[in-house]
């Protein structure tokens, strides 16, 4: 009975994490208009570091080992630097619904990097699903870009690839360091380097930003950058990675829903169809069979 309750709680935490992540792009779209790319992209980490430092000190967490530190650098480059900065820049010119379709490729990118890091060979099914999903996103971007990819599209796709690598690395590291501790230490690694660029981009005009802009910035710092990860990783630990990870297929549709509710974006049928195709390809790809690489010594 306790196992069932723990599993249900894990599913609820996983759902909470996905909902929190789904609000990231809408919040970014609102905040970046008033605070700019650097403050929104990097400033969220500086603010989050204050909360994270308190949690780490209170819990008396051990410092990562030198080997773990190398993996944390990869996580920091993706989840703390690359993804927040690139999506902040992209959201200056792209609708959230547009970004939701492209970010939907993230689980597939994560699965791909996880396979390679584990020394596994992806099957043809994985590659076919990857091509279908990628082509759907590219065609969607070309359609909305009047025949050409915008730099913002390239930024989003690059953000997905970088974050996919950091997720895969973080997932592997979480087994020895702990689930939420991975993003916590990654934040602490990145924050000191962000203080100067963020400080140089602060202006007095930002003090007059509307309340929704400040709420959005604080949401990105406290929830998107840290608490959402705590809920997500804890949910997978309690409910099982395979089962809880399926919830993330709701993320692009939740992003599209939040874009209509909070930003009054009009959602086209083409957007929904593309999102369905991408999510379907991701499901196929993540469930594709993989084989382990055989070492030369094992062949003889």
Q: What would the pLDDT profile of 166-201 be if each residue is shown by its tens digit? A: 988 888 888 888 878 999 999 999 999 999 999 999
Is residue 2 predicted with pLDDT exceeding 90? no
Mean pLDDT, rounded, of the chain:
87
Burial of 269: CB neighbours in 10 Å, binned 0-12, 13-18, 19+? exposed
In terms of Cα–Cα distance, which of 258, 271, 269, 275 is closest to 30?
258
Give CA separation, 157 vs 33, 37, 194, in Å: 21, 17, 23
As for how many domains the chain has, the answer is 1
- In which band, very low, low, confident or very high, does the pLDDT at 123 lie, cut at 50, 70 and 90? confident
Q: Helices in the chain by DSSP H: which ranges?
A: 2-22, 24-58, 66-75, 83-90, 96-103, 106-117, 124-144, 151-177, 179-200, 211-219, 228-239, 241-245, 251-263, 269-286
Q: Which domain holds residue 258?
A: 2-299
Mean pLDDT of the region 244-251 = 82
pLDDT, residue 143, reads: 80
Q: Which of 103-107, 111-115, 214-218, 231-235 has the lowest average pLDDT?
A: 111-115
The answer to whether residue 299 scores a pLDDT higher than 50 is no
Decide: 215 and 23 in contact? Cβ < 8 Å: no
User: pLDDT tens-digit profile of 53-86?
Assistant: 999 999 999 999 999 999 999 999 999 999 999 9
Is residue 157 over pLDDT 80?
A: yes
Q: Alpha-carbon distance 158 to 87, whole Å?
A: 10
290 phi, psi to nearest 5 deg: -130, 155
Q: How confident is the model at residue 242 (pLDDT cuts 50, 70, 90)?
A: low
Question: pLDDT value at position 220?
Answer: 97
Tens-place pLDDT, residues 19-34: 999 999 999 999 999 9
Residue 260 to residue 33: CA distance in whole angstroms = 18
For residue 104, what is the DSSP state? T
> ∠ at Cα 198 (255, 39), nearest 5°?
25
Cβ(31)–Cβ(206) below 8 Å: no
């Amino acid at each position: 009975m306790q196992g069932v309750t723990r599993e249900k709680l894990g599913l609820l935490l996983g759902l909470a994490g996905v909902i929190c992540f789904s609000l990231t792009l809408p919040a970014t779209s609102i905040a970046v208009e008033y605070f700019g790319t650097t403050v929104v992209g990097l400033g969220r980490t500086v603010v989050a570091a204050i909360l994270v430092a308190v949690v780490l000190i209170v819990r008396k967490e051990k410092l990562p080992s030198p080997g773990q530190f190398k993996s944390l650098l990869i996580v920091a480059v993706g989840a703390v630097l690359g993804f927040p900065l690139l999506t902040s820049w992209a959201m200056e010119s792209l609708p959230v619904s547009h970004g939701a379709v492209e970010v939907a490729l993230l689980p597939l990118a994560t699965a791909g990097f996880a396979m390679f890091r584990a020394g596994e060979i992806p099957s043809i099914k994985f590659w076919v699903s990857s091509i279908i999903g990628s082509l759907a996103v590219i065609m969607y971007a070309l359609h909305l870009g009047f025949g050409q990819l915008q730099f913002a599209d390239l930024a989003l796709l690059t953000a997905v690839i970088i974050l996919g690598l950091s997720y895969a690395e973080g997932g592997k590291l979480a087994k020895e360091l702990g689930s939420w501790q991975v993003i916590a230490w990654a934040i602490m690694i990145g924050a000191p380097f962000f203080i100067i660029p963020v400080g140089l981009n602060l202006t007095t005009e930002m003090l007059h930003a509307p309340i929704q802009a400040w709420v959005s910035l604080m949401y990105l710092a406290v929830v998107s950058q840290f608490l959402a990860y705590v809920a997500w990783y804890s949910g997978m630990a309690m409910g099982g990675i395979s089962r809880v990870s399926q919830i993330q297929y709701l993320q692009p549709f939740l992003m599209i829903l939040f874009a209509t509710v909070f930003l009054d974006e009009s959602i086209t049928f083409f957007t929904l169809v593309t999102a369905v195709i991408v999510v379907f390809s991701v499901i196929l790809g993540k469930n594709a069979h993989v084989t382990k690489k055989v070492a030369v010594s094992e062949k003889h």
